[in-house]
């Protein structure tokens, strides 16, 4: 059968003025409401649909192709250090590190080098919540106010309805990323979570999507209230240890105490320069506090794809991966999303995409000096993880290239690996 998939074409409009705009202009546009752009040029982007007969039957060969792409990234110098893994079913097809954990000492990235996971941490928090629900300790519909009686929002009546499911799917009703900037200015979590009552609501509780770090981390307080134990202890006991995630930890002190850990890096004239990791997002541990190696993340990916049912039972995974709220901005946030996604939603700590007609479970993470990305196709139990210790966008494009290749979709150089490319198609981590 032909490997050419059914194609649905859509028109995207762009102007030369937008292409030449400054980064500040781009930030302004990101905050603005969508509007029609008048243009003298039309770019046609084809959205293919995956053909089940075109899906690869040789995942190992796909992994070898990805390995060659990593060769190109390593040669280019576009990252200071990166670790990647590809998993099919319960088998690790690729485990590789390139570059350096510390550019100054030339310590290489290894399988046990710990990186910050940033927002990939959210899936650990939702999994922990799912285990507590599975064990009958709480419910997804447990009211936050019933467990934390001093907590309230500006909508006092609405805050009485706020559930565990709402905070973990970003349906609190607050504006996107509420108080993140104050967190970055070293304001304590305890102060910021109390001040949520001062924030005007963007919508009623449970009725719209607004990505959060402060409000999401209420699950840490809820966990302590219902178990009498610290949140990170519960994750260690129920997830890290049973999965054999030996270098997975929470917090900056634990990161820096790991035998091999990836320093964050900034680009300088002659390469990369490490700097001291920031503490701020570690203060919201459920949202962004996990450190882990690529070897740890292989075990996590296997578990998320159903390979460790004693740790993450099927009913827990079903809850975690069931879409709850639309995230329409994802459809246009980067070129690969514009070219592949038909639908985008948020579940519990995971983004769930209709990727060329196939379900893709995905998340990305970003904190200062670190980026991370994880994605898998539940139907085929095929997925990958990448962790890197700089703010390069290039690796972000490798993930859709891998998924495209596995599904037999038309090849697009989303990562811009050829340095003759004039456009960076990768987009950033979110």
Confidence at residue 34, expressed as pLDDT on a 0 to 100 scale: 29
Confidence at residue 180, expressed as pLDDT on a 0 to 100 scale: 98
Which segments of 305-380 does DSSP mark as H helices, in order?
314-321, 335-340
Q: Are strands 351-355 and 249-250 parallel, antiparallel or unpaired?
A: unpaired
Using the structure block, give the residue that is written with the tokens 């941490």. 121
The answer to whether the CB of 379 falls within 8 A of the CB of 124 is no
Confidence at residue 340, expressed as pLDDT on a 0 to 100 scale: 98
The answer to whether the CB of 265 falls within 8 A of the CB of 389 is yes
**Segments of 24-104 assigned E as strands:** 41-48, 81-88, 91-102
Spatial separation of the C-alpha atoms in residues 29 and 365, rounded to whole Å: 22
Spatial separation of the C-alpha atoms in residues 271 and 388, rounded to whole Å: 15
Spatial separation of the C-alpha atoms in residues 231 and 46, rounded to whole Å: 45
Spatial separation of the C-alpha atoms in residues 347 and 113, rounded to whole Å: 29
CB-count exposure of residue 36 (10 Å: 0-12, 13-18, 19+): exposed
pTM: 0.88
Confidence at residue 295, expressed as pLDDT on a 0 to 100 scale: 98
Spatial separation of the C-alpha atoms in residues 56 and 45, rounded to whole Å: 24
Positions in the chain short of pLDDT 50: 1-44, 419-429
Cα distances (Å, whole numbers) of residue 171 to 208, 285, 349: 6, 19, 12
Which segments of 175-293 does DSSP mark as H helices, in order?
180-184, 189-194, 218-227, 231-235, 241-243, 252-256, 285-288
């Amino acid at each position: 059968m032909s490997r050419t998939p059914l194609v649905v074409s859509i028109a995207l409009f762009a102007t030369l003025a937008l292409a030449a705009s400054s980064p500040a202009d781009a930030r302004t546009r990101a905050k603005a409401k969508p509007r029609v752009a008048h243009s003298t040029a039309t770019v046609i982007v084809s959205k293919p649909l995956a053909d089940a007969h075109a899906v690869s039957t040789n995942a190992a060969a796909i992994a070898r192709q990805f390995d060659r792409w990593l060769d190109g990234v390593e040669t280019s110098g576009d990252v200071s250090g990166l670790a990647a893994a590809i998993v099919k079913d319960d088998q690790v097809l690729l485990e590789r590190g390139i570059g350096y954990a510390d550019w100054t000492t030339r310590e290489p990235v290894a399988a046990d080098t710990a990186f910050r996971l940033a927002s990939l941490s959210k899936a650990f928090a939702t999994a922990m919540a799912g285990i507590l629900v599975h064990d009958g300790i709480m419910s997804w519909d447990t009211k936050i106010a019933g467990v934390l009686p001093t907590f309230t929002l500006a909508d006092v009546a609405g805050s009485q309805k706020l559930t565990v499911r709402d905070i973990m799917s970003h349906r609190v009703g607050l504006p996107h990323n509420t108080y993140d900037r104050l967190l970055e200015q070293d304001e304590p979590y305890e102060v910021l979570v109390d001040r949520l009552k001062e924030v005007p609501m963007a919508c009623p509780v449970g009725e719209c999507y607004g990505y959060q770090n402060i409000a999401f981390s209420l699950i840490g307080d809820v966990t302590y209230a219902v178990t009498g134990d610290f949140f990170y202890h519960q994750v260690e006991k129920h997830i890290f240890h049973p999965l054999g995630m030996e270098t997975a930890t929470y917090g900056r002190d634990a990161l820096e105490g790991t035998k091999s850990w990836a320093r964050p890096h900034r680009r300088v004239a002659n390469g990369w320069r490490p700097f001291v990791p920031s503490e701020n997002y570690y203060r919201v541990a459920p949202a962004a506090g996990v450190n882990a190696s690529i070897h740890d993340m292989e075990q996590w990916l296997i578990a998320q794809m159903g390979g460790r049912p004693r740790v993450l039972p099927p009913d827990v995974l079903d809850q975690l991966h069931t879409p709850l709220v639309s995230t329409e901005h994802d459809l246009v946030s980067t070129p690969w999303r514009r070219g592949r996604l038909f639908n985008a939603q948020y579940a519990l700590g995971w983004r769930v995409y209709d990727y060329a007609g196939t379900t893709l479970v995905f998340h990305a993470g970003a904190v200062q000096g670190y980026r991370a990305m994880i994605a898998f196709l539940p139907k085929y139990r095929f997925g990958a993880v990448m962790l890197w210790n700089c703010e390069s966008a290039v690796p972000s494009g490798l993930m859709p290239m891998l998924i495209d290749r596995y599904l037999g979709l038309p090849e697009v150089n989303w990562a811009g690996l050829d340095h003759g490319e004039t456009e960076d198609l990768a987009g950033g981590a979110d």
